[in-house]
């Protein structure tokens, strides 16, 4: 970067002859590679012709900081770079959309010469990570966070430790999380460590996606994308790209887990409800002991769901499916009513729940964001009302121990943490992706360490 001329997007503004002299000196002093820009490559290569050491290679590069041209234009560029005398062709373009990377992959896979193909920018991250899958000669990693030489470059440490770069091969299956934003997701850490722990030839990455339909139309092979987790803002839009949707996920109207089946079709699930409901069921088993096989401990229970947003829908539909008598209470009553009607339950306002205790031993699930960081002191239901519940679940996981859960514990209820929902929905995703049980202990350890 420091020695890349400013006319090619670098920082060097000095004399061009001196710059090229320095590159020639590097060659004489034993450098294995030098990188020269296409614009001056022909002259530079002529100047060293006949004096190149055996183990020395010239990378001829072209940078486009605006976009990624058509595959045909890139192919023409590759031919020009080859004709300049390059040992290794290097093309860096800019991603305006994650699907731009597909054109670079296509060129790399078919290249007859060693080639480096990089699509710069956050939307181009996959081009850097999947270089070994598509036959790239190398990828670039920053030595330190922030010390990048081009936009979107990951650190060498993340390449190796987070994305298992050294394990990626042409037949590696590619999974990832689609979202916008998505860079904060810890899912790659969980899944890549899990894949590695059982020797699965698979990698999981961040997919910064603007247009879900375009993404699935572009990346439509069995090994890319083999499966995706799906987060905000795509949980609803992604529905229309699916060939089949789990019936409950369809009712909830949101998916978070997509699997490409061997015939190439896409099947979607909502693992949030499975994660939350199974955690609540285990809590009830802990309290009441085993129930007959095939029966849910939630069956017949009065199940009060606070909130009617995305998580509220998951809990209400999940509870109803298990045979619970569902009550939905929400700040905006109309939303509570709409959801309650759909699950065959009763609707009320949050204020009404405070004095609602037709029976003892009810189950409470908070899915409102009341009590979430930074509002640690807030709680969706007054402490005096909690004594009527035998189990209280809070979907909030930041903080883990919310005021609601603390007060529920003090009132004698079994409590179930939001982190359980988060971890267990991950187990389900892993199971759907791989057909194998999730390495639960490893998931838990990683969540504990990094959440």
Q: Tell me whether residue 48 or residue 370 sits nearer to ligand NAP (CB atom).
A: 370
**Least separation in angstroms between CB 90 and ligand NAP:** 43
Q: How many Cβ atoms sit within 10 Å of the Cβ of residue 34?
A: 20
Active site residue 173: no
3-state helix, strand, coil in the chain (%, to 5): 40, 20, 40
**Least separation in angstroms between CB 310 and ligand NAP:** 4
**Least separation in angstroms between CB 256 and ligand NAP:** 9
Asked if residue 422 binds ligand NAP (CB under 6 A), the reply is yes
Question: Which residue from 117, 121, 227, 307 is in contact with ligand NAP, where contact means CB under 6 A?
Answer: 307
- Opening angle at CA 231, ends 228 and 234, nearest 5: 90
In angstroms, what CA-CA distances link 400 with 387, 397, 404?
21, 5, 11
State the burial class of residue 98 (Cβ atoms within 10 Å of its Cβ: 0-12, 13-18, 19+): buried
Q: Which two tokens stand for residue 228?
A: 């995706």
Asked if residue 311 binds ligand NAP (CB under 6 A), the reply is yes
Asked if residue 426 binds ligand NAP (CB under 6 A), the reply is no
Query: Checking DSSP bridges between strand 115-120 and strand 173-179, what pairing results, if any?
Result: unpaired
Q: Tell me whether residue 147 or residue 351 sits nearer to ligand NAP (CB atom).
A: 351
Q: Tell me whether residue 84 or residue 270 sits nearer to ligand NAP (CB atom).
A: 270
Which residue has 């199940």 as its token pair? 303
Q: Tell me whether residue 245 or residue 276 sits nearer to ligand NAP (CB atom).
A: 276
Instruction: Please state the three-class secondary structure of 313-344 as a single string.
Output: HHHHHHHHHCCCEEEEEECCHHHHHHHHHHHC
Asked if residue 44 binds ligand NAP (CB under 6 A), the reply is no
Determine contact, residues 73/98, Cβ cutoff 8 Å: no
Q: Pick the catalytic residue from 57, 133, 173, 235.
A: 235
Q: Which stretch binds ligand NAP (CB under 6 A): 7-15, 67-75, 141-149, 365-373?
A: 365-373
From residue 391 to residue 410, the character string flagging contacts with ligand NAP as x (rule: CB under 6 A) and all else as - is: ----xxx-------------
Question: Which residue from 421, 429, 430, 443 is in contact with ligand NAP, where contact means CB under 6 A?
Answer: 421
Which of these, 148, 149, 157, lies nearest to 61 by C-alpha position?
Answer: 149
Asked if residue 312 binds ligand NAP (CB under 6 A), the reply is yes
CA dihedral 407, 410, 415, 419 (to 10 degrees): 50
Q: Which two tokens stand for residue 360?
A: 């003892």
Asked if residue 41 binds ligand NAP (CB under 6 A), the reply is no
**Least separation in angstroms between CB 86 and ligand NAP:** 50
Q: Tell me whether residue 90 or residue 256 sits nearer to ligand NAP (CB atom).
A: 256
Q: Which residues bind ligand NAP (CB under 6 A)?
A: 272, 307-312, 330-332, 335, 350, 367-370, 372, 395-397, 418, 421-422, 425
Residues forming the active site: 235
């Amino acid at each position: 970067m420091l020695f890349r001329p400013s006319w090619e997007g670098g920082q060097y503004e000095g004399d061009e002859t001196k710059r090229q002299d320095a590159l020639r000196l590097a060659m004489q002093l034993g450098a294995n590679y030098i990188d020269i820009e296409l614009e001056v490559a022909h002259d530079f290569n002529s100047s060293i012709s006949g004096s190149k050491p055996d183990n020395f290679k010239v990378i001829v590069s072209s940078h486009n900081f605006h976009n990624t041209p058509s595959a045909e234009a890139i192919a023409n560029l590759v031919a020009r770079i080859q004709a300049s005398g390059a040992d290794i062709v290097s093309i860096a373009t800019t991603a305006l959309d994650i699907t731009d990377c597909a054109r670079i992959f296509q060129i790399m896979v078919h290249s007859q010469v060693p080639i480096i193909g990089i699509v710069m920018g956050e939307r181009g991250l996959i081009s850097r990570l999947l270089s070994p899958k598509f036959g790239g000669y190398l990828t670039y990693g920053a030595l330190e966070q922030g010390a990048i030489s081009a936009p979107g470059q990951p650190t060498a440490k993340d390449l190796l430790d987070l994305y298992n770069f050294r394990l990626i091969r042409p037949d590696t299956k590619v999974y990832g999380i689609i979202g916008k934003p998505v860079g904060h997701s810890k899912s790659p850490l969980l899944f890549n460590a899990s894949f590695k722990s059982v020797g699965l030839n698979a990698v999981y990455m961040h997919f910064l996606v603007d247009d879900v339909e375009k993404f699935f139309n572009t990346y439509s092979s069995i090994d890319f994308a083999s499966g995706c987790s799906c987060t905000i803002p795509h949980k609803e839009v992604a529905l229309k790209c699916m060939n089949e949707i789990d019936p409950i996920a369809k009712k909830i109207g949101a998916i978070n887990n997509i699997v490409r089946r061997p015939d190439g079709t896409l099947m979607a699930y909502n693992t949030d409800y499975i994660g939350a409901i199974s955690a609540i069921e285990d809590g009830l088993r802990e309290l009441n002991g085993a129930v007959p096989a095939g029966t849910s401990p939630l069956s017949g229970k009065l199940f009060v769901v606070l909130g009617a947003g995305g998580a509220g829908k998951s809990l209400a539909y999940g509870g109803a499916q298990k045979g619970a008598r569902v009550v939905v209470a929400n700040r905006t009553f109309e939303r509570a009513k709409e959801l309650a009607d759909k699950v065959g339950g009763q609707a009320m306002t949050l204020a009404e729940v405070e004095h609602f205790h037709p029976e003892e031993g009810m189950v409470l699930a908070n899915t409102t964001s009341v009590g979430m960081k930074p509002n640690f002191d807030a709680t969706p239901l007054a402490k005096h009302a909690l004594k009527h519940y035998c189990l209280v679940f809070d979907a909030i996981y930041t903080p883990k121990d919310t005021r609601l859960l603390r007060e529920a514990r003090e009132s004698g209820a079994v409590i179930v943490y939001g982190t359980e929902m988060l971890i267990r929905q991950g187990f389900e995703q892993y199971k759907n992706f791989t057909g194998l049980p999730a390495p639960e202990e490893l998931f838990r350890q990683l969540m504990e360490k990094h959440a």
